Chains A and B, each alone.
Chain A
Amino acid sequence: MTAPAFEPVIIGFTCNWCSYRAADLAGTARIEYPPNVRLIRVMCSGRVDPAFVLKALADGADGVLIAGCHPGECHYLEQNYKALRRHRLLLRTLAQLGIEAERVRLAWASAAEGARFAEEVRDMVALLRALGPLRWPARPIPAAHAQATTPTQAAVTEVTT
């Protein structure tokens, strides 16, 4: 058996002020890390809706990284605590669906911590390689929402008596 080594795909949600800039800094400082992570910039880790994580996993990601400013250093003062709370609850829910906690990581990295960001990615990639693919079975695409990768725009008819 010489199957090609499994390379996980990770979606990373990074905040505009700290972790995205940490990723920028990792680049500026040429700190190499594995190419398995694909980043999405949000203004704050508090913007990350658990549904984003679920969608990433459902769409084929093997893991999701949510990275924000350090506790107490949030650009929006305290919103990363909301990310922390959601993460704690999300992990519990995911466990019931058979998804390991290692697949959804919450990390903190300040704008000055390019090395730390790279290390989080390296570490997570190593863990996921060991854990194996998630490859969530494809969703049956509802016929009525065939093109609706976003919430349906269908008009709502409210009927009341």
Chain B
Amino acid sequence: MVQEKVGVYVCHCGSNIAGVVDVGDVARFAAEELKDRGVALARDYTFMCSVSGQDMIERDIRELGLTRVVVAACSPHLHEATFRGACARAGLNPYLSEMASIREHVAWVHRDPQAATAKAKAIVAGTVARVLRNEPLQAIEVPIDARTLVVGGGIAGIQAALEVAEAGYDVHLIEREPSLGGHMAQFDKTFPTLDCAACILTPKMAAAGAHPKIHLHTWSEVEKVEGQVGDYTVHVRRKPRYVDADVCTGCGICVEKCPVVVVDDTFEAGIGYRKAIYWPFAQAVPNLPVLDPATCTYFVGGKGGCRACEKFCPTVPNSIRFDQHEEPLTLRVGNIILATGFDLFDARRVAQYGYGRLANVFTSLELERMCSAAGPTGGKVVLRDGHTTPRSVGIVHCVGSRDRNYNRHCSAICCMQSLKTAHLIKERTGAEVYDFYIDMRSPGKEYDEFYQRVLDDGVHFIRGKVAEISDVPLDPGEEDGRLYVQVEDTLAGLRRRIPVDMVVLSAALEPRRDSAEVGRIFGIACSTRGWFIEKHAKLDPVATMTEGVFVAGCAQGPKDIPASVAQGAAAAARVLNHIRQGVLSLEPVRAGVLAERCSGCRLCNGLCPFNAIRFDAEHGVSEINAALCQGCGTCVAACPAGAIQGSGFSDAQLYAQIDGLLADLRRQPAEAT
């Protein structure tokens, strides 16, 4: 057997580590006391991650023939790749190196230099013991299918799809609703520039709808995803539209002739109407009506009667297809971008604000529709009666946000949205506007300037959380038929009761109600609150822990339009990066079965959420598909026969590390800790 030579490198990290840990002593300890455990040399150096630090390692590997390397420095999550790279350049298999975290786990969390140095030594001893058991590994290479799936046709998803398609690669864009557009399509103006949402979104939707590389699947949902990065098989359920997309010209006669009128609680947020066969909205992409069997006379009547749409449809053959059924669709893609958006907080939950009980309490989304020239009121801001212009309006921030009863998070957009609403109301009605906020958050580009503008508009800002909105007059002079906003004005130190005609609630952005289920389908993690978890909160905000699945837009957390667009583009860039690489190298941390040890007991068979374990009935052994295995090691720990081995985190490595970490307890009497 080869005599192993371990090199130990102790980093000062300037004074980050050296300020607490006696790095020289740690290096001396490694060189002297771990000599019989394979350490050939130990050095300490100011910045191991610097070019000269890496050079030092490379030189030692070449000149002294080191066979293993331990770098005691920061967390491996920062510099593991750096030092693996140094090893590889010097001809040493990169997996024969290990990092010992003595900065995050020692110097930055402990103050007593003696205890910190002792702990650093123990960690180094453990890492040296472990690295001796490391095996040289090769990265796993997977070819990347150049097709991409984008889930969600809101602005983030549209942007992502366009970026990938523009680069020349096929994109399947899936949307649950009958049209692209998402929440942005419902908005009237966008802050802070007040350009009309439809004006800037419609061209994007049209571009996505017409792009030869974008394959649009609206009114469809993903049911199941199999495979792994580079090679996903996606099972999609296409809901019946009852309109033949290949024939329909979008003339709209069917919608015109349909005699059924119902409340549109999707696009028009419940303040407008639509037919049983309807356009999702005027600029819908694809430009096709959709028939709602829950309200259509033909379907409601047990498939009899009416059929007016069919009778009047001018196309040959007829575009109305009452016989359409749900259809499965199977797609093969290499990468997935999830841009599934958010749900709006149900303002009824804050009972004291009276939404749903008090007619003139509105949600911000209702107000968006009201302000829209194409909306149910033709752009007029009016009370629930449909014609009275309010003389005074209250706008309440943080409804369902920053509130431990509902959501602790800040919804990020409500302050700006409220300012925009205040401005629009002022502009259209001339009403007195009272804006009730907890803190004003306007940190985006030109955002605070917009705040200033609304201040200049004469909007009254009252800092305080609204306690109650009531229609019951209390004080002398209060009259029936108005709303009273009870609030503590924390700047003036007063309790105030402000009469208004209308209240607009800036409702929170919440995760999609089915986000946990969607997370499971795509194999990505979702926080307990329901936002998808990005790989790194700062440095990797659009990747997820699952290679090949990316997130963009509000599915990852509340954000405004520019941020959603940026994330959509960023996710696309990450996908294009995969596609251009063609073949992706994955960490070779995988489980594998030693067939001769496997008894075929099948205990492991149900343990893998990625379905990587399969039973080979013919040979009576279980097998692991390395491409599906994500390397968690659960089956390794569960195999009763010890037949499953985990590369990169083997039993031998872990036992050795435990042994090394505790070696100091055996060297000295236990009481002298």
Contacts and interface: CB of A to CB of B under 8 A. Distances in A.
B181 to A, nearest CB: 31
A6 B654 contact: no
Contacts of A75: 525, 545, 632
Interface string B489-525: 0000000000000000000000000001000100101
Interface stretch (B106-114, B222-230, B247-255, B553-561): B106-114
Given A30-B108, A46-B633, A135-B670, A40 B651 contact: no
Nearest to A148: B655
A140 interface: no
Nearest to A54: B658
Given A33-B109, A151-B655, A40 B634 contact: no
Nearest to A112: B537
Given A40-B657, A49-B637, A60-B665, A31 B632 contact: no
Contacts of B101: 24, 39
Contact of B609 (A7, A60, A77): A77
Contacts of B110: 32-35
Given A27-B103, A56-B658, A69 B665 contact: no
B75 interface: yes
Interface in B91-109: 101, 103-109
B397 interface: no
A118 B109 CA distance: 9
Nearest to A17: B545
A116 to B, nearest CB: 13
Interface string B639-659: 000100010010110111111
A7 B642 CA distance: 35
B3 interface: no
A76 B654 contact: no
Contact of B104 (A9, A24, A40, A52): A24
A119 B594 CA distance: 41
A105 interface: no
A55 B658 contact: yes
B659 to A, nearest CB: 5
A61 B663 CA distance: 10
| Of listed B632, B637, B670, residue having the most chain A CB within 10 A | B632
Interface in B655-672: 655-659, 661-662, 665-666, 670-672
B209 interface: no
B200 interface: no
A39 B637 CA distance: 18
A160 B533 CA distance: 54
Contacts of B646: 47
Contact of A60 (B525, B654, B662): B662
Contact of A61 (B656, B662, B672): B662
Contacts of B634: 44, 46-47, 76, 79, 82
Interface stretch (B42-50, B115-123, B303-311): B115-123
Nearest to B523: A77
Contacts of A39: 101, 105, 123
B655 A26 contact: no
Contacts of B665: 9, 59-61
Contacts of A112: 537
B636 interface: yes
B661 A38 contact: yes
A139 B526 CA distance: 44
B357 interface: no
| Of listed A61, A112, A118, A150, residue having the most chain B CB within 10 A | A150
A80 to B, nearest CB: 9
A59 B637 contact: no
Contact of A138 (B651, B661, B666): B666
B204 to A, nearest CB: 34
B334 to A, nearest CB: 21
A47 B607 contact: no
Q: Is the interface of A mostly helix, strand, loop or mixed?
A: loop
B673 interface: yes
A77 B109 contact: no
B527 interface: yes
A4 interface: yes
Contacts of B272: none
Contacts of A33: 109-110
Nearest to B102: A27
Interface in B119-164: 119, 122-123, 126, 129, 133
B115 A82 contact: no
Nearest to A61: B662
Nearest to A153: B652
Given A38-B122, A55-B655, A47 B636 contact: yes
B670 A133 contact: yes
B516 A72 contact: yes
A128 to B, nearest CB: 12
A42 interface: yes
B649 to A, nearest CB: 6
Interface in B68-108: 75-77, 101, 103-108
A151 B658 contact: no
B381 to A, nearest CB: 41
Contacts of B658: 11, 40, 52, 55-56, 59
A23 interface: yes
A151 B533 contact: no
A112 B528 CA distance: 13
Given A27-B109, A73-B525, A151 B516 contact: no
A147 B106 CA distance: 30
Contact of B655 (A27, A135, A150): A150
Contact of B126 (A40, A46, A49, A77): A40
Interface in A1-44: 3-4, 6-7, 9, 11, 17, 20-21, 23-24, 26-28, 30-35, 38-44
Interface of A: 3-4, 6-7, 9, 11, 17, 20-21, 23-24, 26-28, 30-35, 38-44, 46-49, 51-52, 55-56, 59-61, 69-70, 72-79, 82, 86, 110-112, 118, 133, 135, 138, 149-151
Given A4-B673, A38-B122, A46-B633, 13 more contacts: A11-B662, A24-B77, A24-B105, A28-B104, A38-B126, A44-B633, A47-B632, A47-B649, A51-B651, A52-B658, A60-B662, A72-B516, A72-B528
Of all A-B residue pairs in the complex, the 10 with the closest CB atoms, nearest first, are A27-B104, A47-B633, A46-B634, A60-B665, A27-B108, A44-B632, A76-B632, A49-B637, A77-B609, A150-B652
